[in-house]
């Protein structure tokens, strides 16, 4: 699979996975603030400040063949997590998690609590309040976080290299392919992929700007 296509596939899966984890955590933190919420927020945001290679090292230590999780996964599913596309998806999801979480948390914080109280006094169930009131009102912020998370996952290098390696057609993403091209002296290929990633990043930021203006 071409590196750019593989990067898109991994980034989409990783962003979906990050959203599944980040949005519920952000909602719970906004509705039940406290020490537990602050700890969860710090844990989900720490990938933003750690070097990508450190994230990859932690993933490799926790999910590699020598770990309990990695060995159990391999025994059940017949294959490892490390040095596979799944490993690349997990690495990209970890790097995308802070962007999705922070934007979602800010969006839920902006929802007027009085609207939720009115809905509950009318007998509306908590789950319906979330889907019919909170989620629509926070949608713009959540979408912004998802777009930023996708852009971050698409360009990940260090964490993906550590846990997934550099296997052509399986884990060699566009960022890793750029590194390989420069190492081999293929400046044209490196330039082509770099321009693609730059263009996609610019498109994501432009979309965020348009979304922000529409939201205001």
Structural domain spans, the chain: 3-215
| pLDDT per position as a tens digit, 152-170 | 999 898 898 989 888 888 8
pLDDT score at 206: 85
**What percentage of the chain carries pLDDT values higher than 70?**
96
pLDDT at residue 91 is higher than 90: yes
pLDDT at residue 98 is higher than 90: yes
DSSP string, the chain: --HHHHHHHHHHHHHHHHHHHHHHHHHHHHHS-SHHHHHHHHHHHGGGTS-HHHHHHHHHHHHSTTSHHHHHHHHHHSS-STTSHHHHHHHHHHHHHHHHHHHHHHHHHTS-HHHHHHHHHTT--HHHHIIIIIHHHHHHHHHHHHHHHHHHHHT--HHHHHHH---TTTT--HHHHHHHHHHHT-HHHHHHHHHHHHHHHHHHHHHHHHHHHHH-
CA distance linking residue 191 with residue 199, whole number of Å: 12
Mean pLDDT of 5-15: 94
The CATH number of the domain covering residues in 3-215: 1.10.3720.10
Query: Closest Cα partner for 145 from 103, 98, 95?
Result: 103
Q: What is the pTM of this model?
A: 0.89
């Amino acid at each position: 699979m071409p590196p750019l296509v593989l990067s898109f596939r991994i980034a989409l899966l990783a962003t979906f996975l990050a959203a599944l984890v980040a949005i519920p955590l952000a909602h719970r933190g906004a509705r039940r603030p406290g020490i537990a919420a602050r700890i969860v927020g710090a844990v989900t945001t720490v990938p933003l400040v750690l070097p990508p290679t450190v994230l990859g090292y932690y993933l490799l230590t926790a999910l590699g063949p020598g770990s309990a999780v990695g060995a159990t996964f391999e025994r059940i599913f017949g294959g490892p997590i490390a040095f596979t596309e799944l490993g690349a998806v997990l690495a990209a999801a970890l790097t995308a998690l802070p962007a999705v979480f922070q934007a979602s948390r800010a969006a839920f914080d902006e929802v007027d609590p009085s609207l939720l109280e009115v809905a509950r006094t009318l007998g509306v169930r908590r789950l319906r309040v979330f889907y019919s009131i909170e989620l629509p009102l926070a949608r713009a912020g959540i979408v912004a976080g998802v777009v930023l998370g996708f852009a971050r996952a698409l360009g990940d290098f260090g964490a993906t290299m550590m846990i997934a390696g550099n296997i052509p057609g399986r884990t060699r993403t566009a960022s890793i392919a750029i590194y390989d091209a420069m190492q081999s002296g293929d400046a044209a290929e490196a330039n082509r992929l770099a321009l693609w990633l730059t263009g996609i990043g610019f498109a994501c930021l432009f979309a965020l700007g348009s979304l922000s203006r529409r939201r205001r």
